[in-house]
Chains A and B, each alone.
Chain A
Amino acid sequence: MVEQVRKLLEKRVESVAELENLRQSILGKRDSSRTCISVCGGTACRASGAEAVVDAFIDEIERRELQITVELKETGCHGFCERGPVVVIRPKRIFYQRVKPEDIPEIISETVLGGNIIERLLYVDPATNERITYEPDVPFYKKQTRTIFSANGEIDPTDIEDYIAMGGYSALSKALVQMSPEEIIEEVKKSGLRGRGGGGFPTGRKWQSCRDAEGDVKYVICNADEGDPGAYQDRSLLEGNPHSVVEGMIIGAYAIGSHKGYIYVRNEYPLAVRHARIAIEQAMDYGLLGEDILGSGFDFTVTINKGGGAFVCGESSALMASLEGKIGEPRAKYIHMSEKGLWDNPSLLNNVKTWANVPLIINKGAEWYSQIGTAGSKGTMIFSLVGNINNTGLVEVPMGITLREMIYDIGGGIPNGKKFKAVQTGGPSGGCIPEQYLDTPVDFDELTKLGSMMGSGGMIVMDEDTCMVDVARYFIEFLKGESCGKCTPCREGLNRMSEILNRITQGKGKQEDLDTLEDLAGILSGGALCALGQTAANPVLSTLHYFRDEYVAHIDEKKCPAGICRELIQYSIDPEKCEGCLRCLRACPTGAISGEKRKPHTLNQDMCIKCGACYDVCKFNAVIRQ
């Protein structure tokens, strides 16, 4: 016990000078030329087997007794999830992708000890067919501007010394010692930072109103209740660099005069919860959280609160209700949360990405920060590029980059030579943007103009085989299931919208249904209580606006142009083209296809469940989908 306390006291940093000494001593112990193998340990790479890769590295390093010369690091998400598990070997930054445990002995003997490149593990650029050896040369990374996401691939998120070595907590020292709370708020205001959770509210103004709000007790909250289908950047940031979020929160708390913070994180993000918890414990041990932080007299602690499992809890007022232990339902925000939030006290709530931007702004200055981005939206944004795209992953780009650059230059375009159809931005309440707007610069205002929104940065790319009515139906179904049910427009309106959309996709739609959908959209946007309901009609409105002909085809011709809606399609076999290879016959799960070898097969419509398995396996294009 005594020993433990003594150890704790040893770690504790009492002043800014001591923090700098600690940083120097950490750096002094490190050798930048030493080989460092960093394995991506983000949730996506873990799903592709990164943990086994890490274990294999540990075994191999121990077997060869290389512990002193080689450093192994399990880092946070590198972003290139499509190619996981990803391994980067520093200092040269050799980039290996889709690494398997079997490859490890070879990597150690060939690359780490022998200095040779293993060609087979390199990334091949599909555009040029060239093998790329070094991480910065990979097109996916090359076009990105990584600021808040930059340390993710380099530091071990469970080791505070890694973060400190990279200059971590220097923004906190600067803020606590050199700046007054007013100066910090002024700096954030000047930077032009807007809330990254989706609303895009100017962060500095929010801070100011929370500082000005009356009340002795104030709270700082980090919203990590990310729930949009297809978006996972908040998770990756909290998993990969939790200290940057904590540092941002301490600075924010100092600026508004708060002593208590909460991280509200999704319970379904166990790794993010674990890493955030470790970060908070370590920051407490080092005296960067707790009482008298860096000798400034400022006290602040952070508690983790795991989410209750409702999408709507990402909405600030519902989140606070949930934090209070009540049902996670939104309430009207005619009086802002910054004035009357958690337990009716002034509360400053920001998204994970917003908090992570704060240390950067304090360190590099508002002027530097405001040079990135567009007139109305400053800085960078992390998007999760998913759907029908070659390079699935997380990309950090400056605001103002065009959708085309993001999808084609970074995302590598659409797989299997298919044509681009639309991109859905901003999560389930966002809109679908068609091809003619691909050159639109992406920022808060431009996306809103197109009937979509920034949201928390989801970007779902859809190819020509996507039925837009079905997409709208899917998102409305999602929102219907996630509506808390408190207010009539959202509860009843979304239910009726899904009723109509289901009808249309089953070929039972009527022409009047389109007007009814538009009426319902008006009721939702005008009448709903919270942002979930107010923006819920966006997927319907945007698809109705840009892809009205598809709705009309479903209603008038009873046809699904993309061949997705099961009730409206029929499979048949073209006897001219069928070579009688038996492939479709074997693939059919219901035995609807009959025939003999080298003779044209036939499909029994009564038994067909329209799964499309025959269509997918046919090599002669003999299966027709109508």
Chain B
Amino acid sequence: MAKVWINGKTCVEVRDAEGVNAVHLTVDDKDIAVSGGQTILEAVARMPGIGNIPALCHHPAVKPYGACRICTVEVSEDGGSKFRFVAACLYPVKEGLVVKTNTERVRKLRKGIIELLLARCPNVKRIQELAEEYGVEKPRFVLGDQDCILCGLCVRACQEIIGKSAISLVNRGIYREVAAPFYAYELSEDCIGCGDCAFVCPTGAIEMGPDGKPVLPKVKIPYAEIEAMMKKEAVATS
């Protein structure tokens, strides 16, 4: 038997349909039955009124990635005695799983992550909204001026949906950025100007330019300096 919640308020008990791989779990003290093989985030998204999981780097059209981490929830595999943090966009639903999507611990962690994102991108509307929801007033850090949160949605959409990989995540750590592969000066003809990257971008960091190709977030690589350096080397070696 499984419980079915209507708008998260009324509960009806129904028998599991035959031949369906049903998984029973508890989300925020409500028992639910979902089909197996999906993640917590996917399962909860289909259950209106149950759970509260924000997400930035997730889009149903591409594979889950787990970069932004604000979908973090607490789960317990032993019926509710020991909980740990997991990313809801990646964690597969399991029989008997206990999920808590909005505890104080979860909210504190999300608040911290949002503070970090707001410090990086103080002017992004989506982040400002989340900051207000989670009570982040002013980040305690030196403010940046980025628009891109490096969720990688644009890159994944270009690769997985369009099959082009015209843009890529390059460099690592704090120097990571969305750019043409291998830091090419311009987007190659691999870019067909479909605008998918701009469409999936949660922060509006990518816009479509007048030439029909996307304008990528400001790339920090000092091209002029590199060029000067290469010229110098060329002179030195010739």
Residues of A within 8 A of B (CB): 310, 327, 331-332, 334-335, 480-489, 491-496, 499, 512, 516, 519-520, 522-523, 526-529
Contact = CB atoms under 8 A, between A and B. Distances in A.
Given A527-B69, A527-B109, 16 more contacts: A332-B90, A334-B92, A483-B174, A485-B150, A485-B175, A485-B176, A486-B176, A487-B69, A488-B70, A491-B150, A492-B116, A492-B120, A499-B141, A499-B142, A527-B113, A529-B69
Contacts of A486: 65-67, 150, 152, 176
Category for how many chain B residues contact A: 35 or more
A484 B170 CA distance: 10
B216 interface: no
Given A332-B90, A485-B150, A526-B72, A491 B112 contact: no
Nearest to B170: A327
Contact of A485 (B108, B119, B173): B173
A526 B141 contact: no
B5 interface: no
B92 A493 contact: no
B225 to A, nearest CB: 20
Contact of A480 (B86, B116, B142, B174): B174
A489 B140 contact: no
22 contacts: A482-B173, A485-B174, A486-B67, A488-B68, A488-B69, A488-B113, A488-B117, A488-B150, A489-B113, A489-B116, A491-B173, A492-B120, A494-B173, A495-B173, A496-B141, A499-B142, A512-B140, A522-B108, A523-B113, A527-B109, A528-B69, A529-B69
B112 A523 contact: yes
A10 to B, nearest CB: 50
Contacts of A310: 172
Interface of B: 65-70, 72, 85-87, 90-92, 105, 108-109, 112-113, 116-117, 119-120, 140-142, 149-150, 152, 169, 171-176
A327 B156 CA distance: 13
A522 B86 contact: no
Nearest to B175: A485
Nearest to A333: B90
A335 B64 CA distance: 14
B57 to A, nearest CB: 9
Nearest to B94: A334
A522 B104 CA distance: 14
Contacts of B109: 522-523, 526-527
The 5 closest A-B pairs by CB, nearest first: A485-B176, A492-B116, A523-B112, A332-B90, A483-B173
A526 B106 CA distance: 9
A319 to B, nearest CB: 15
A480 B173 contact: yes
Contacts of B65: 486
A499 B144 CA distance: 13
A310 B172 CA distance: 9
A310 B119 CA distance: 27
A526 B171 contact: no
A334 B86 CA distance: 9
Contacts of A332: 66, 86-87, 90-91
Contact of A527 (B72, B142, B171, B175): B72
B137 to A, nearest CB: 14
Given A483-B173, A519-B112, A527-B113, A488 B141 contact: no
A425 B87 CA distance: 29
Contacts of A520: 112
Contacts of A526: 72, 85, 105, 109
Contact of A529 (B87, B105, B140, B175): B87
A570 B85 CA distance: 47
Contacts of A499: 141-142
B135 to A, nearest CB: 14
A527 B105 CA distance: 11
B66 A331 contact: yes
A370 B225 CA distance: 60
B117 to A, nearest CB: 6
Contacts of B90: 332, 334
A496 B113 CA distance: 12
A327 B169 contact: yes
Contacts of A492: 116-117, 119-120, 174
